[in-house]
Chain A
């Protein structure tokens, strides 16, 4: 019997099932194969399903702003040398944008919120280099207001699953310059789907805590803020669906006052950390294992002799066991299981509080308002 040399072709459904399994960069290349593949792989439904499928298995990368106002992404690689991790950085260049990037304020589903020197907000996808310029709100505070008061801005970014919408939150106030004047905080929210801003309210005074970006957990943005009544520092939680602020209880150990603390996301949980403790070489942090449940705040300690006399801040987690810390303006990775610290060797100098993690995705930063980038 003659052997047939004809290769059996895989049916279309199987090929498409295989395409779902490909990483983001391969999808980009596959779009160039044929018109049919391009249509299939550009379809928003495919992109959404692909993201959901890969979300849990993806590794985190870093995105950061440097002192030269550039944006870089960093991919981690294991180093043969035991106490180092290599980070390979790549500068992001956006078509038609010169960008003086000063803030990396939030990351969600592979999209990142960045702000330039003129306070213009962009939503970017660091993988596909697509971007969406957020229009300026006509009520937003000018950089320099009356009486030469400077405006201060904080941002938050997240996804509202109920309305399938990405939202940007801008908290702003005039710098009080140590005067008696207590600044009002303005809360402005932008809906990407609707393309409009609106002004909302906050019951808190956000001007007395450090400038920080909103920490996103469970569709809620978190900041430390002050109650206007007794001026204790609390966790203010802005729900992206309800579009209003609630207060989240902090760990019992901290009592009613989260003064001099930092918020971060560790292993997907809201966490609060402090370097102020009797032990100088310790960073103590609590993770809210069950969101919203006060009793689920669980205490962890990082004790490292090298932290002695250093200023250490917990930034985020990059794997289940690895935490990223800023120790004296250097990025350090701390493995919780092995209780071992490793220096992150990267070839760029980040502005420490403008370092975020993100995962690769194909998601577009604009909802069908495709034009840019």
Chain B
């Protein structure tokens, strides 16, 4: 049995995280670096802060655990995602940067679930989007999509 290799990840605020390679390669980006053999020192992750990295590692570790049932994982995911939307977006950006498709998908679904009940005004606020319709245009679009509002 080969010895488990430990990788060191260094976040934007200088903190270092040591992690089993087998777990860390959930990130396709890290996996590529390992395969390209440039991991002799700490892997720099300038786009991820330590707070977010802690959460990502928590997710990776749970999803690498042996003997965890699908129900238990679902419960874990539910609790894991019950965070303020700014934390969620930080997680999403990190997961995207680290290229972990599974985590990206899970978070995207959570964000989608949060949008479901919102009005256009609330959605604009959520994503910081400018309303570039004129009042007449907005009225027209609302009419065309009136079916979506009841």
In the assembly, what is the distance between CA of A62 and CA of B146, in Å?
21
Q: Which of B119, B129, B148 has the most CB of A within 10 A?
A: B148
Q: Is the CB of B127 within 8 A of A14?
A: no
Write the nearest CB–CB distance from B96 to chain A, whole angstroms: 6
Interface size on A, residues (CB 8 A): 32
Choose, from B21-29, B36-44, B59-67, B104-112, the stretch at the interface.
B104-112
Complex contacts, B138 vs chain A, CB 8 Å: 32
Q: A29-B149, A35-B133, A129-B147 are in contact. Are A21 and B108 (CB under 8 A)?
A: yes
List 4 additional A-B contacts (Cβ < 8 Å) besides A10-B93, A25-B147, A34-B130. A8-B93, A14-B96, A14-B108, A21-B112
Closest 4 CB pairs of A and B: A28-B148, A21-B112, A32-B120, A28-B145
Check: A33 CB closer than 8 A to any chain B CB. yes
Check: A268 CB closer than 8 A to any chain B CB. no
Chain A positions near chain B (C-beta within 8 angstroms): 1, 7-11, 14-15, 17-19, 21-38, 127-129
Q: Is the CB of A34 within 8 A of B133?
A: yes
Q: Is the CB of A21 within 8 A of B109?
A: yes
Write the nearest CB–CB distance from B48 to chain A, whole angstroms: 12
* 20 A–B pairs (Cβ distance < 8 Å), ordered by A: A8-B90, A8-B93, A9-B127, A10-B93, A21-B109, A21-B112, A22-B115, A24-B148, A26-B116, A29-B119, A29-B123, A31-B144, A32-B138, A32-B145, A34-B131, A35-B133, A36-B132, A38-B141, A127-B147, A128-B147
Complex contacts, A9 vs chain B, CB 8 Å: 127-128
Q: A14-B92, A18-B115 are in contact. Are A7 and B147 (CB under 8 A)?
A: no
Q: Is the CB of A28 within 8 A of B149?
A: yes
Residues of chain B from 85 to 119 with CB closer than 8 A to chain A in the complex? 86, 89-90, 92-93, 96, 104, 108-109, 111-112, 115-116, 118-119
Complex contacts, A30 vs chain B, CB 8 Å: 115, 120, 123
Q: Is the CB of A31 within 8 A of B127?
A: no
Complex contacts, A129 vs chain B, CB 8 Å: 147
Complex contacts, B86 vs chain A, CB 8 Å: 7
Write the nearest CB–CB distance from A373 to chain B, whole angstroms: 10
Complex contacts, B109 vs chain A, CB 8 Å: 21
Q: A7-B86, A27-B148, A29-B118 are in contact. Are A18 and B111 (CB under 8 A)?
A: yes
Complex contacts, A28 vs chain B, CB 8 Å: 145, 147-149
Contact partner, B132, options A14, A24, A31, A35, Cβ 8 Å: A35
In the assembly, what is the distance between CA of A23 and CA of B115, in Å?
10
Q: Is the CB of B145 within 8 A of A33?
A: no
In the assembly, what is the distance between CA of A11 and CA of B129, in Å?
12
In the assembly, what is the distance between CA of A129 and CA of B145, in Å?
9
Check: B124 CB closer than 8 A to any chain A CB. yes
Q: Is the CB of A26 within 8 A of B148?
A: yes
Write the nearest CB–CB distance from A135 to chain B, whole angstroms: 24
Q: A14-B108, A22-B112, A34-B131 are in contact. Are A29 and B148 (CB under 8 A)?
A: yes
Complex contacts, A34 vs chain B, CB 8 Å: 124, 129-133
In the assembly, what is the distance between CA of A37 and CA of B128, in Å?
13
